[in-house]
Chain A
Amino acid sequence: MAVTSKVAADRAESPGSASRSFNVGVWNVVSLAIALGIWQVGATLVASPFFPTPIKVVEAFIQLATRGDTTGHSLLAHAWASIERVLVGFGLGVLLGVPLGLLMGLYPKLYAGTRSVIEPFRFIPPIAWIPLAIIFFTGLTRFAFLIFLGAFFPIFTSTLVGVARVEPIHRKVGVVHGASKFWILRNVVVPTVMPDILAGMRVGLGTAWLTIVAAELAGGISTGLGRMMTNYAELLMVPHVIVGMLLIGLIGFLMNEVLLLIEKRLFRWRWQVSL
């Protein structure tokens, strides 16, 4: 344990230490306050019902949270519906993107030989799949499919690129000691690629949230933050639309923080965790 504390002490002396993270916290509160201030002043000056003040948005939030929306769904039900879809679609993206990225990274010929099939898909936006998704799927499956399409490629691509970063010397350490291919995959390839996988996951998570709102606009469902926002947009009730927007931002931000936390725990061996 003495060692751990020594390491911690080393960290404290290096830049990026506790005293700086305190400043970072303060600065975030300050910039948040400034942003809200500008919003308040702007909204007061414009004085339009379509440009609500932060207070109007808070009121809308309280109304939605306590009494639900015009269709009787609570804000929590909307938020959870979207979160569930994102988690399932994103989870599928990880479950397929990581193994496929590893496989094609380890056998580059497999990738080279299937590029013409894989790569064009990368450029078809998930939104372009909505018509087909409506025809072929219903309910959760439809959203999971669309979000999967958005999350898969960032995860797959960064895993694929990460495998190329495996140092031949690290592989050779395993080989000369008589390690099996599986041992090398588990103990050399995966640890090397892990930072890229996590980075891909964070990009994929962004795409997943990007996709969800568009997918929920497609209709056929009554819940989801995207749905709720469209309902209120049709009623021209802008504060309620903004509640949906901010909630999406907040949930995405929190999920990203969770991934960053995992990253910091997993990669204590690195100099620093990149953002």
Chain B
Amino acid sequence: MHGYAPTAKVDVDATHRYGQLVVHEQLKFSVAANEFICICGPSGCGKTTLLDMLAGILKPSQGHVLIDGIQANPKQQSISFVFQEPSTFPWLTVRENVATGLKINGARREEIEAKVGDIIRIVGLIGFEGYYPHQISGGMKQRVAIARAFATDADLILMDEPFVSLDQPTRERMQREVLDIWRHRKRTVIFVTHNLEEAVYLADRVLILSVKPARIVADLPVPLPHPRDPLSAEFTEIRSECVRLLHAPEGGDAPPFGSI
């Protein structure tokens, strides 16, 4: 049961349109504190719009996006974002990059040092603090971006297909690492992905969106303990259910999903 409790960390009930184009039609869901949810949807389901609304940099045409009961606003709440494309600052060292969010939030120097040191240890970047992004691998750069997001006391961490550009082994390792960081530093995470296996591997709950105008077509809890085995019967069953729901035709063609 995931009712829209008043204590919800994140509460979305939004309709958004650009001119005539309805991107989201009464998109409704809520996320509990420290919950890890994955949102999956076909290409063109308006995930960028949804993430921008959650980050508070875009207001829905109708309805609301609330974080702790107030309108999402990056100047008021602490929101972190891990982007799909490389987003580290090339002119800052690993340590300075990780400290960025804390510095914007006006944290004291000792606090920054302690928190940055901590998170660098957790993401396994010890020894690379003084390196510049061009000196480390793509996977490490993405780890820096993840560390930057988890270093702040973010009310909400948004992750936009953060592993899509990584090769398969690195991707699998990063998935394990994110779960590990999340276990150490409990935060509310909304993770967008096109990869259903990734979603079932990571999430407490998987939300499946339809094509535009996007609505939630399914809200599936994943009651499996970590670490999950993608080859186990329970895992496969949930994943198949996701595939079925994603492909369920609702007056349109089933969207192609090559990666499954």
Task: List the interface of chain A (C-beta within 8 A of B).
Answer: 2-4, 7, 10, 169-170, 172-179, 183, 187-188, 191-192, 194, 267-271
Contact = CB atoms under 8 A, between A and B. Distances in A.
- Chain B interface size, as a band, is 35 or more
Contacts of A177: 74, 78-81, 100-101, 104-105, 152
B91 A191 contact: yes
- Select the residue from A3, A177, A187, A270 with max chain B CB neighbours within 10 A: A177
6 contacts: A4-B130, A172-B83, A173-B87, A174-B104, A177-B100, A187-B89
A7 B87 contact: no
B56 to A, nearest CB: 8
B29 interface: no
Contacts of A174: 104
Given A7-B131, A169-B85, A176 B90 contact: no
B182 interface: no
Contact of B128 (A3, A178, A191): A3
B98 to A, nearest CB: 12
Nearest to A266: B91
The prevalent SS among residues of B at the interface is loop
B47 to A, nearest CB: 15
Nearest to A174: B104
Interface string B70-90: 000111111111010111011
Contacts of B78: 177-178
Contacts of A268: 132
A178 B131 contact: no
A176 B79 contact: yes
Nearest to B54: A176
A178 B79 CA distance: 8
Interface in B142-200: 152, 158
Nearest to A167: B87
Nearest to A194: B91
B80 A176 contact: yes
Contact of A269 (B57, B92, B129): B92
A269 B130 CA distance: 11
